[in-house]
Amino acid sequence: MTTAPARTAVLTTSDVAVHFGGIKAVDGVDLGIAPGEILGILGPNGSGKSTLLAAVTRLVPLTRGRLSLDGTDYTGSPAYRLARRGIARTFQTVRLLPDLTVLENVQLGADLHLPRASRLRELLRRGAVPEVAEAVERTGIGDALDRRPGELSYGTARRVEIARALAAGPRVLLLDEPTAGMNQPERREVAGLLRRLRDEGLAQLLVEHDVQMMVDTCDRLLAMNQGVRIAEGAPTDVVEDAGVQSAYLGRPSGPQQGGFAPVEPQQSHLAATREREAGRAADR
Amino acid sequence: MNAWFVSHQVLVQSTLISLLLALSIQVPLRAGVFSFAGIGSYAIGAYAAAIVTIRLQVAPVFAIGAGVVIAAVAGYLLALLVARLSGLYLGMATIAFALFLGVVAVNGGELTGGATGLYGAISTLTTGHVVAITVVVVLLLVVNERGAFGRRIDAVREDPQLAVSLGVDVGRVRRRVFVVSGALGACAGGMNSLLRTTVSPETIGFQLVVTALTMIIVGGALSWAGAAIGAVIFTWLPSVLQVVGDWQPVVYGVLVALAAIYMPTGLLGVAQSAWRRARRRPLPADDRERPDGDDPERALAALQEVRP
């Protein structure tokens, strides 16, 4: 089993909690992401994954806990400052501006780095900054640049979202279910892109429901249930963890909180993953 | 042409002043802020210009400028006050601001001339000045509607949370919008007082809210051009509608209702989508389904580089 090398984390949270009234959406989560690492967050619906992402990006106020980037605390920093400091994110749903073209939507990501003078120059000469061109190229949306979001297939729209986040030139990328609604080839393509970005040193936090993709893509997994961490470590270990199995797959293991119906397809998914991992281990 | 201009000079002036007034509502709306503070600012500008001109006999630029500065500051303070309001509540609060200023005007004693208002604000402001000011204002707004400026304002309107995560200080954009709206409204009010040499509580009343909103709804709220279309239509329509006599308000009402129901983006929106449809290239048959319909070479060719 491989574990993540002890690199210095670029983004860390300590004891982060977000309570909505009596509901403890996130209740004391510690995590750290290093440059060139993909940390996956696994958990059933309502386990607090998206709230954790919102907390990290300062979109919801923290009940307690600290957030830090490069060792600098940003717990009290307003959300709009984070983009400039290198944190970019995508959202669970497609959030593109309907009246702008795909190119303009991607440009929105890079706009914050554009000095005023260049914004004026952009008006005189149509064009975009190199970061935008690169993000477009990497996500493969070059053919859709002059379309509006309403005309795109769901998979393409999601890739435009990733392109917009990349155009900001982030050091930390937070992805909330980036492949939801995509077909298998599209998923593989996105997973490949995330791995390439990792190899270039980007720190990523990935929330996904596709267990197989998580195991294949992430360096480490953190499993959550009811706002707390229930397991963390190498992907295969976490997926095998009894607590994770019962929480995520609804498999009864003792008198734990039930409520999740067994999900057959995902179980077989898990079995396939296990087989693949076994094969991989044998190769090594 | 010249004879036409002379006989229609008042209408031309009214059109431009209405345009600035409509813009003072359109600018906030574009950023998703439902504020009528521009109407209150019109009142501030109208009275400030008249008072300064009558008492100090300064050049119109200072008289109007005084109102613009006061209204911009008032706009900023108002923005802080209503920072937590949005939608209808914000609309109500800012209409209250306008009505409140109407009450102040009636009860302002000697300073505002009470219910009769102020007379004799005679200045050297000409139609040429009004045209020049309007052109400058529109040019500045055009810059703000395009490119990175415009995109970021679009994001604030459509999805404030997304805008924040893209690094836009949404609160600051909203405060700025109040300041700009205040300055635009005051500029319109000041010019109107000086051209008519008079101002009274009736000229700054609720009627202005209706006029400005009508222009924007029919013209289109998302661009200065929509406000311009609305200003032209509703300034010139009364002279066309003289044939229907007393039925004018009915015709107005029907027009606005039809526009609101059938053209939610206004005449401008209808024209834009027609333009877009006309020049859109046909979709390649399999493009929508092909997940890797990408061609980096073409993408790069499409993006001319503009280095920051």
Average pLDDT of every residue of chain A = 83
pLDDT, one tens digit per residue, over A31-71 is 999 999 999 999 888 889 999 999 999 999 999 999 999 98
Q: How far apart are CA A181 and CA B57, in angstroms?
A: 69
> What pLDDT score was predicted for residue A62?
93
List of chain B residues whose C-beta atoms are within 8 Å of the C-beta of residue A129: 305-308
Q: Answer whether residue A180 shows pLDDT above 80.
A: yes
Q: Do B165 and A130 touch (CB under 8 A)?
A: no
Q: What is the token pair recorded at A219?
A: 């360096």
Q: In chain B, which residue ranges form alpha helices assigned H by DSSP? A: 2-30, 37-56, 60-81, 87-106, 109-112, 127-145, 147-158, 160-165, 170-196, 207-219, 224-240, 248-262, 266-279, 296-302
Q: Answer whether residue A183 shows pLDDT above 90.
A: no
- Among A89, A108, A129, A145, which would you mutate to test the B interface (most chain B Cβ atoms within 10 Å of its Cβ)? A108
B151 falls within a domain: yes
pLDDT, one tens digit per residue, over A106-164 is 999 988 877 666 666 665 555 567 888 889 989 989 888 889 999 998 889 999 999 99
- Among A119, A146, A154, which would you mutate to test the B interface (most chain B Cβ atoms within 10 Å of its Cβ)? A119
Q: Do A185 and B291 touch (CB under 8 A)?
A: yes
> Can you give the CATH number for the domain in which A240 is found?
3.40.50.300
Q: How far apart are CA B295 and CA B292, in angstroms?
A: 9
Determine the residue type at A134: E
- Among A99, A116, A121, A152, which would you mutate to test the B interface (most chain B Cβ atoms within 10 Å of its Cβ)? A99
A123 falls within a domain: no
Q: How far apart are CA B186 and CA B200, in angstroms?
A: 15
Domain enclosing residue B178, as ranges: 2-205
Can you tell me which residue has the tokens 């995560």? B165
A5 falls within a domain: no
- Of B8, B50, B23, nearest to B197 by C-alpha is B50
DSSP string, B109-177: HHHHTGGG-EE-------HHHHHHHHHHHHHHHHHHHSHHHHHHHHHHHH-HHHHHHTT--HHHHHHHH
Q: Do B148 and A103 touch (CB under 8 A)?
A: no
Per-residue pLDDT band for A264 (boundaries 50, 70, 90) equals very low
Domain enclosing residue A25, as ranges: 11-86+170-283
Q: Do A108 and B151 touch (CB under 8 A)?
A: yes
B168 falls within a domain: yes
Measure in Å the smallest separation between the Cα of A233 and chain B Cα atoms.
29
A61 falls within a domain: yes
Q: Do B291 and A155 touch (CB under 8 A)?
A: yes
CB neighbour class for B46 (10 Å; exposed up to 12, middle 13-18, buried from 19) = buried
A227 falls within a domain: yes
Measure in Å the smallest separation between the Cα of B226 and chain A Cα atoms.
16
B244 falls within a domain: no
Q: Answer whether residue A261 shows pLDDT above 90.
A: no
Per DSSP, the three-state class of B246 is: helix
> Taking a C-beta distance cutoff of 8 angstroms, is the pair A31, A67 a contact?
no
List of chain B residues whose C-beta atoms are within 8 Å of the C-beta of residue A114: 148, 308
Mean pLDDT for the stretch of residues A181-191? 89
ipTM score above 0.90: no
List of chain A residues whose C-beta atoms are within 8 Å of the C-beta of residue B303: 103, 127-128, 132-133, 136
Q: How many domains does chain B have?
A: 1
Least confident of A229-233, A244-248, A273-277, B273-277: A273-277
Q: How far apart are CA A106 and CA A168, in angstroms?
A: 9
Q: Do A125 and B304 touch (CB under 8 A)?
A: yes
More confident residue, A271 or A118: A118
**Closest Cα in chain B to A165:** B166
Q: Answer whether residue A260 shows pLDDT above 50.
A: no
Q: How many domains does chain A have?
A: 1
Sign of the dihedral through C-alpha A86, A87, A90, A91: negative
pTM assigned to the model: 0.82
Taking only the tens of pLDDT, chain B with its 308 residues reads: 678 888 888 899 999 999 999 999 999 999 999 999 999 999 999 999 999 999 998 999 999 999 999 999 999 999 999 988 888 899 999 999 999 999 999 998 889 888 888 898 888 888 999 999 999 999 999 988 887 888 999 999 999 999 999 999 999 999 999 999 999 999 999 999 999 999 999 888 888 888 898 899 899 888 899 999 999 998 888 888 888 878 888 888 888 888 888 888 888 988 888 888 887 655 544 444 333 334 444 444 444 443 33
Q: Do A127 and B299 touch (CB under 8 A)?
A: no
